[in-house]
């Protein structure tokens, strides 16, 4: 099920997945995104969250407003979760499609560095070992997002890199 929310963002508390048993339903993805944020010491609490864009069982992009632990931490940020590594993206992106595009580019840099044996310490943080196997698995998911999901939102994408 596809949700786009550029004009009608869906608050997390109003999400309903198609099946409660689906481990990657939008409601489960929202819980995973919130848990991911709460796992960082710079996130004291979550004030609110909403789904901007998502494909149930594949990937979802949420916008969260948080209480940051330090003044230099943004109080709002995008979180991407799904059948791929979770990540947060700064709120410079104006919508979920732009945030997902930034995610794809950041993860592609990680993949490219891993494939040449480069340093990944300054790249988008990943909670997985920088192995060729992980890079190849992630590449297939990014290719799907890049080729099948993002094209239908191309007019919404603002490149903030």
Residue 38 maps to a domain: yes
Q: How far is CA 111 from CA 28, 63, 80, 100, 119, in A?
A: 27, 25, 17, 16, 11
Residue 28 maps to a domain: yes
Residue 160 maps to a domain: no
The string of pLDDT tens digits covering residues 3-59 is 443 345 788 888 765 555 555 688 889 999 999 999 999 999 999 999 999 888 899
Residue 47 maps to a domain: yes
Residue 62 maps to a domain: yes
pTM above 0.85, yes or no: yes
Query: Does 108 have pLDDT greater than 90?
Result: yes
Looking at 21-145, which runs of residues are DSSP E strands?
A: 43-55, 59-68, 76-82, 84-90
Backbone angles phi, psi at 90, to 5 degrees: -60, 160
Residue 76 maps to a domain: yes
What's the total number of domains in the chain?
Answer: 1
Segments forming the whole domain that contains residue 86:
2-155
Residue 161 maps to a domain: no
Distance CA 81, CA 160 (A): 20
Q: How far is CA 106 from CA 54, 78, 139, in A?
A: 19, 14, 12
């Amino acid at each position: 099920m596809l949700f786009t929310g550029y004009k009608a963002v869906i608050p997390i508390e109003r999400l309903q997945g198609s099946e409660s048993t689906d481990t990657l339903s939008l409601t489960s993805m929202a819980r995973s995104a919130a848990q991911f944020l709460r796992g960082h010491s710079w996130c004291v609490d979550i004030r609110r969250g909403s789904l901007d864009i998502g494909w149930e069982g594949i990937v979802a992009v949420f916008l969260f407003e948080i209480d940051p632990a330090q003044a230099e931490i943004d109080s709002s940020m995008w979180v991407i979760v799904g059948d791929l590594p979770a990540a947060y993206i700064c709120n410079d992106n104006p919508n979920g499609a732009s945030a997902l595009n930034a995610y794809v580019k950041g993860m592609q840099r990680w993949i490219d560095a891993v494939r040449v044996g480069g340093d990944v310490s300054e790249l988008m943080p990943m909670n997985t070992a920088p192995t060729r196997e992980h890079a190849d698995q992630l590449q297939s998911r990014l290719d799907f997002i890049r080729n099948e999901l993002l094209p239908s939102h191309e007019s919404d994408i603002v490149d903030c890199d």
